[in-house]
Structure 1
C-alpha cells in the first residue's frame, strides 16, 4: 500500500522528451512558443508576434531575413503551456513574489520557466504542487530550474537555427538530448535539496574561530545542511574589547548569525552600537532613536572560554537589563497596549524577528486583524497557514489542548500570564460533540489560544523519525546533557524522567522498576515505567 506521505516523499518519475521530427505548419497552424508543438487553429488571445534574432541559416534567408535583422515570427501557446502559465501567475499572486511595482510579469516569466523545466521532464500539473508550497519553495525551484526551462523553449530554438516554418511533432521534441539530460541532472540536484530537512548546523570550521555567533553566542542555526554556509555568511573580524570584554589587542575572526548580521548592516560596523541594538531587538525594547550610555550587556565573544549558547543571548542577565530599561526615560517595549490600541506594525516586526531568529518553518494565524500583516510576512518569505476558528476548528483546538495537558504531553513555560489564563479558561459544550474554550468576563485567553494552535498544528504532523526503544538507565545524565546541549540548558531535551526529576530519586525509581522486569525487558528497555512520567500506569 502506498500512503500519501510515501507519494509525497517519492521522487517523481522523469520522462525525457522524445525526439520529434519537424512538421510543416499548415495555413491555420502555429508553433507553441514554449514546447514547440504544432497547434491547429490557435486562439487569437494566445497568439503574438515575437522578434527573433536568428543566426545565418538558409531557412531565414529564404524568408527574406538575415543574420543582423530581427524577424517577427507568429507563435502561440498550446493548452498545456497556457495552463502552466496561469499556474505561474497564480503562484506569484498567492506567495506575493511580485510585490515590487513593475516586477509582476517578470516574476511570472521566471516561475513559468521553472515550471517549464519540470514540464520538459514530464512533471506537470498537480505533480508540481509539492515544489511550490511556500515562497521559499518557489524561489528554490526558480533558482534551480528556470535556466533549464528557458533554454528548452521553442522561441530560443528559433534563434539558434530553427526553421520558423515548422513545428515539433511532439511536445518538447526539439530539445536536444544533451540539454534534456542537463535538465534532468539539475532536477536531481534540486530534488535532493528539497528532500533535506532542517537540522541544527554549526558555523563552518575556521582556524581558531569560535563555533558560535560572535554577538548572541547561538551555537547552531536550524537550516538545511546545503544552506548552512550561506546562512552563516562570510567571516568577520571583531575586537572583543570593543564588545564589552576586557581590553585585548588581538582581533577574533568568526561568524555572525543572520539576525545579528542584519543589525550590523543597519549600524554599519560590529561594535558597541551593534551589540546594543541587537540586545534591544532581542528583548523587544525600543529607545525611540536614543542610545543607551552604559553597555547593556556583553557580546558572547567577549566572554573568555564561554560555551556556545543554546538560544540567542542566553548569557545575558535578562531580568537586570529589562529592569534598567524600565527605569530609562523614553524606553518603550513594543507590544504593550498604548492608549487602548495595539500597534500592529510593532507586532509584525516582532513576529518576523522571532520567525527568523528561531527558524520558524510555519506560522499559524487567526484571520482576525491579521490579513495585512500576513501578506507582509508572506512577502518576507515566512510560510503562513491560517487556523480557521469555525465550530469544528475551535473544538479541535480545545480538545487537543485539554488532552495534551491531561496527558502531560506538553511542557508550558513558567509565565504568569499563561498560568493565569490556564486557571481561568473553561471548556464548554457548543453542540453535539463540539466544545470550545470560554474565558470569564474581564479575562483573556489569547496566549492559551496560541498554545492550542501550536498543539493542534503539531498533532497534524506525522512523526517521520524512526521508531526504537532504549534503556534510559544505561545513559548517564552527563552524557545526555552533552548530547543535547551545554550545561543545564542541555537538559531541555532529556527524557521526562530526567528533565522533571533529574535527581537520585528518579534513578532509584528506574532501578526499582527494572528489578521487577524480565531479563529480556531489561535488555531492551521495553515498558520501563517511571513514576510521574507518561508511562507510569499508576499516574493520575
Structure 2
C-alpha cells in the first residue's frame, strides 16, 4: 500500500517529517510523490530504495514529484468534477488509466530527471565575484561546493551582513557577497546573519548533531568576508580559522577516534 510505504519512510527519516511540519501533510506529500512513480511504472524495489535511501534523497523526491503526483491521483479528477458526481464517474479498467497523455509525459519527464540525478555525479561549483575573480562564502570562506549541474545556478545565495555582526571591525557600509548552502541553512536556523549562524555552521561542519547542546556558544568566530585582509578562498569551510581545539572537543563529545 502506497500510503503505508509513505508512513514507514517518514518514520525512518523523522527529520524530513519535522521540516515539513504536520505529520499528515508530510504523509500526503510523500504518498503523492510515490503515486507519481507508480503511475509511470517505477515500482522496482531497488529503484525505490535508491530514491529514498537518505533524508536528502527523500526530500528531493518529495520536492520533485509531490505536485505532479497530486494531479495524477483519481481523487483530483473526482474533485474537479465535484465530489457530488464522483460516484457516477466510471471506474478505470487499469491502474492510472484516467491520466491523459500530457500528464503521463509530464510524469515521465520529471521522474526521468530525478533518476538521472542519482546517476550523475556532482561537480565543483566555484564561487566568483562580479568580475569573475575567485571568491568565497561570506561566512565560512569556502571557494567551491559540490552540486549537480542543474543546480549550479542556485548553489550560492546572495547575502549582506554587518561587519561587526560576523566578527569583523565596525564599518559604515555593509558587506555584500554570497553564502554556501551550509551557511545559508545556518542563517535560516538562526533567523539572521551573525554569531549564532556562524556557530551553527561550524557545528554542522564538525558533525555535531543539532540535538546536542555541546559547543553551543563559540567565541572568536570571524566570517571570511570580515577578515581585515581578505585571503584567498578556503579549500574547506572555515579554513581561515584554527578549529583544532573545537574539532578535538567534537571528537571527544561524539566518541570519534582521534
Give TM class, smaller chain: 0.7 to 0.9
Task: Note the C-alpha offset of 1:187.
Answer: 1.9
1:266 paired to 2:76 = no
- Give yes or no for contact 2:124–2:144 (8 Å, CA) kept in 1: yes
1:144 paired to 2:69 = no
Supply the distance in 2 between the matched residues of 1:92 and 1:265 (Cα, whole angstroms): 22
Question: Are the structure 2 counterparts of residues 229 and 237 from structure 1 closer, same or farther at C-alpha, using a change threshold of 3 Å?
Answer: farther
Q: Which residue of 2 aligns with 1:88?
A: 6
1:116 paired to 2:40 = no
Task: Note the C-alpha offset of 1:254.
Answer: 0.8
1:186 paired to 2:104 = no
SS in 2 for 1:255: strand
Paired residues, number = 243
**Deviation digits for residues 273-304 of structure 1, max 9, x if unmatched?**
46984797578897876x85xxx364322253
Supply the distance in 1 between the matched residues of 2:91 and 2:201 (Cα, whole angstroms): 63
SS in 2 for 1:234: strand
Task: Note the C-alpha offset of 1:117.
Answer: 0.8
Supply the distance in 2 between the matched residues of 1:253 and 1:280 (Cα, whole angstroms): 21
Q: Which residue of 2 aligns with 1:423?
A: none
Residue 177 of structure 2 is aligned with which of 246, 250, 254?
254
Q: What is the CA RMSD across the aligned residues, in angstroms?
A: 4.1
Question: Are the structure 2 counterparts of residues 110 and 305 from structure 1 closer, same or farther at C-alpha, using a change threshold of 3 Å?
Answer: closer
Structure 1 segments unaligned to the other structure (5+ residues): 1-82, 326-332, 337-345, 348-365, 367-445, 449-540
Q: Which residue of 2 aligns with 1:177?
A: 101
Q: Which residue of 2 aligns with 1:384?
A: none
Supply the distance in 2 between the matched residues of 1:130 and 1:268 (Cα, whole angstroms): 35
1:315 paired to 2:240 = yes
- Give yes or no for contact 1:243–1:275 (8 Å, CA) kept in 2: no
1:306 paired to 2:226 = no
Supply the distance in 1 between the matched residues of 2:133 and 2:221 (Cα, whole angstroms): 22
- What TM-score does the superposition give when structure 1 sets the normalisation length? 0.38
Task: Note the C-alpha offset of 1:152.
Answer: 1.8
Task: Note the C-alpha offset of 1:309.
Answer: 1.0
1:447 paired to 2:257 = yes
Q: Which moved more, 1:92-101 or 1:183-192?
A: 92-101
Structure 2 segments unaligned to the other structure (5+ residues): none
Supply the distance in 1 between the matched residues of 2:32 and 2:243 (Cα, whole angstroms): 50
**Deviation digits for residues 111-166 of structure 1, max 9, x if unmatched?**
22111111211222424332121122122112211222221222222233376332
Query: Which has the larger helix fraction?
Result: 2
**Deviation digits for residues 391-435 of structure 1, max 9, x if unmatched?**
xxxxxxxxxxxxxxxxxxxxxxxxxxxxxxxxxxxxxxxxxxxxx
- Give yes or no for contact 1:116–1:149 (8 Å, CA) kept in 2: yes
